[in-house]
């Protein structure tokens, strides 16, 4: 297979985007570029000795300001090693080395991850309701495993859920994951899915994942963002104001009806107060009951 790279037409300031890997790096043969994160690039990589395929996430820091991106990737590795769940993407190796360039010195990191050949839910909207329900339950179980390990995913959204051809749900991207109770100095998460406490720089808890998961279910069911998760500004100084817009609204399916019990669960997840949201174990329990009561849902 010949290397093939899809390089964005615009020039990115992220060092990992400016540098294109090809050939042998970190002990792996780089085959192609799979996609870009905000400050990382992910490649299809082959282990020469075994010919096994992996996804290799590459992050570079060239200044003290950029060090946090390498720190986030290292936290991703730390969290992954403590999670016991086949639903959460596995990682097999972390490699860190010094990096020197004309713009500065820093670190270069590679995360070697399980290769999952599947689209994200953000790119596929044609799933029938029984399939979505199965995905919801599996995702909640993955988030529960993260919580059981003492962490919060903190960036749950359709783009971080993969669904394979053989019907397996996989939760990916622990780049924003933190220990339960962490207070970040800046906003984290993705617009349209962030819990109210995230832009306010308040403690991130398992209830944060409950909110983002509720916003994810809302989007996948209705095709629109939950008003409770949408804000009209993310400018500097946002943490000093609550600029949220919208209130809880009826959950409508696209081409199918949403059971009342599921609609109520979604709205409860989207409660503005963390203490009023259901914990992930309760979400798993309620989704399990829905799966058992819904014809056509594949059993795990």
Whether domain 15-114 has CATH 3.30.200.20: yes
Q: What is the pLDDT of residue 64?
A: 83
Least confident of 146-160, 181-195, 275-289: 181-195
Q: What is the pLDDT of residue 5?
A: 42
Report strand pairing: 40-47 vs 151-152: unpaired
More confident residue, 209 or 5: 209
Q: What rounded mean pLDDT belongs to the chain?
A: 86
115 CB-contact burial (10 Å; exposed 0-12 / middle 13-18 / buried 19+): middle
Q: Which residues contact 14 (CB under 8 A, 6 or more apart)?
A: 36, 38, 39, 40, 60, 69
Output the pTM of the full model: 0.87
Q: What is the pLDDT of residue 147?
A: 96
Helix, strand, coil percent values for the chain (each to nearest 5)? 30, 25, 45
pLDDT in tens, 71-123: 989 999 999 999 989 999 999 999 999 887 766 678 999 999 999 999 889 88
Q: What is the pLDDT of residue 164?
A: 93
pLDDT in tens, 192-237: 898 988 888 889 999 999 999 999 999 999 988 888 776 554 444 4
Query: Is-contact 223 125, C-beta < 8 A?
Result: yes
CATH no., domain 129-293: 1.10.510.10
Boundaries of every domain in the chain: 15-114, 129-293
80 CB-contact burial (10 Å; exposed 0-12 / middle 13-18 / buried 19+): buried
């Amino acid at each position: 297979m010949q290397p093939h790279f899809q390089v964005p037409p615009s020039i990115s300031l992220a060092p990992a985007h400016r540098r294109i890997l090809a050939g042998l790096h970190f002990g792996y043969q780089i085959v192609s570029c799979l996609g870009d994160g905000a400050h990382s690039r992910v490649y299809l990589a082959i282990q020469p000795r075994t010919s096994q395929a992996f996804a290799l996430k590459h992050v570079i820091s060239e200044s003290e300001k950029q060090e946090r991106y390498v720190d986030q990737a290292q936290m991703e590795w730390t969290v992954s090693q403590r999670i016991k769940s086949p639903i959460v993407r596995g990682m097999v190796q972390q490699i860190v080395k010094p990096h020197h360039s004309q713009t500065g010195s820093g670190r270069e990191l590679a995360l070697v991850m399980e290769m999952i050949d599947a689209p994200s839910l953000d790119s596929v909207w044609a799933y029938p309701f029984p399939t979505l329900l199965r995905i919801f339950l599996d995702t909640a179980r993955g988030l529960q495993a993260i919580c059981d390990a003492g962490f919060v995913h903190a960036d749950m959204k359709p783009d971080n859920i993969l669904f394979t051809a053989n019907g397996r749900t996989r939760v990916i991207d622990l780049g924003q994951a933190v220990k339960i109770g962490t207070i970040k100095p800046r906003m984290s998460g993705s617009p349209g899915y962030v819990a109210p406490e995230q832009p306010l720089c308040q403690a991130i808890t398992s209830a944060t994942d409950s909110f983002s998961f509720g916003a994810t279910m809302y989007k996948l069911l209705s095709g629109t963002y939950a008003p409770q998760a949408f804000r009209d500004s993310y400018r500097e100084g946002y943490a000093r104001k609550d600029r949220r817009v919208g209130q809880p609204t009826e959950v409508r399916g696209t081409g199918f009806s949403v059971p009342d019990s599921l609609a109520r669960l979604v709205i409860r997840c989207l409660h503005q107060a963390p203490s009023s949201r259901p914990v992930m174990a309760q979400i798993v329990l309620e989704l399990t009951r829905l799966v058992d009561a819904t014809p056509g849902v594949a059993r795990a």
